[in-house]
């Protein structure tokens, strides 16, 4: 018997909801699938990546105080077809990789970008078969 059956979502709390949602939508290409206010007053936006069922919940809840993200505590990782093409996309938005691209021993290539609020995003280009 499995105690849990499915990963539903991962939450990131932020200070600037619209700036963060814009980043995930416009830079990463995620789709906003749901938005609402919780009974305790937090504003929630759920985003989804193509080809994934799990959601990312971006939450603004000023009652908990300001968000202070610790460096290198957590990150989200997304697969991309081409880090070169994604780098060009970033440049069009005035952004660049904060680290990499770096080739791994498995043949994958990875790079990092900084999302609003200090969260880190890893982008992985898997080797072609």
37-90 per-position pLDDT tens digit: 999 899 999 999 999 999 999 999 988 889 888 888 889 999 999 999 999 999
- Mean per-residue pLDDT over the chain, rounded: 93
**Residues contacting residue 17 through CB under 8 Å, at least 6 positions apart:** 43, 45, 58, 59, 60
Predicted confidence (pLDDT) per residue in 93-105, tens digit: 999 999 999 999 9
Do residue 77 and residue 47 come from a single domain? no
Looking at residue 85, what is its pLDDT?
Answer: 96
Number of domains in the chain: 2
CATH code (residue 100): 3.10.180.10
pLDDT at 2 over 80: no
Looking at residue 61, what is its pLDDT?
Answer: 94
Do residue 46 and residue 85 come from a single domain? no
At residue 105, the 3 state secondary structure works out as coil
- Whether residue 30 contacts residue 49, with contact meaning beta carbons closer than 8 Å, is answered with yes
Q: Model-level pTM?
A: 0.90
Do residue 57 and residue 1 come from a single domain? yes
Do residue 102 and residue 121 come from a single domain? yes
- Whether residue 20 contacts residue 116, with contact meaning beta carbons closer than 8 Å, is answered with yes
Last residue of some domain: 62, 86, 101?
A: 62
Do residue 21 and residue 55 come from a single domain? yes
Predicted confidence (pLDDT) per residue in 7-17, tens digit: 999 999 999 99
Of the candidates 71, 63, 78, 53, the one whose C-alpha atom is nearest the C-alpha of residue 118 is 71
Do residue 57 and residue 92 come from a single domain? no
The two structure tokens encoding residue 91: 């440049």
Phi, then psi, of 4 in degrees rounded to 5? -115, 155
Q: Which domain holds residue 24?
A: 1-62
Residue 111, strand partner residues:
123
Looking at residue 16, what is its pLDDT?
Answer: 96
Do residue 1 and residue 56 come from a single domain? yes
Do residue 42 and residue 95 come from a single domain? no
Do residue 76 and residue 129 come from a single domain? yes
């Amino acid at each position: 018997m499995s105690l849990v059956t499915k990963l539903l979502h991962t939450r990131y709390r932020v200070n600037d909801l619209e700036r963060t949602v814009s980043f995930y939508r416009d830079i990463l290409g995620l789709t906003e699938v749901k938005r609402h206010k919780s009974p305790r007053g937090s504003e929630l936006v759920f985003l989804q990546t193509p080809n994934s069922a799990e959601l990312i919940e971006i939450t603004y809840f000023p009652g908990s105080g300001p968000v202070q993200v610790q460096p290198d505590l957590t990150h989200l990782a997304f697969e991309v077809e081409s880090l070169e093409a994604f780098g060009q996309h970033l440049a069009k938005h005035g952004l660049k990789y904060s680290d990499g691209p770096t080739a791994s021993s498995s043949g994958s290539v990875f790079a990092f970008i900084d999302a609003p609020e200090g969260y880190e995003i890893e982008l992985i280009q898997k080797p072609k078969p």
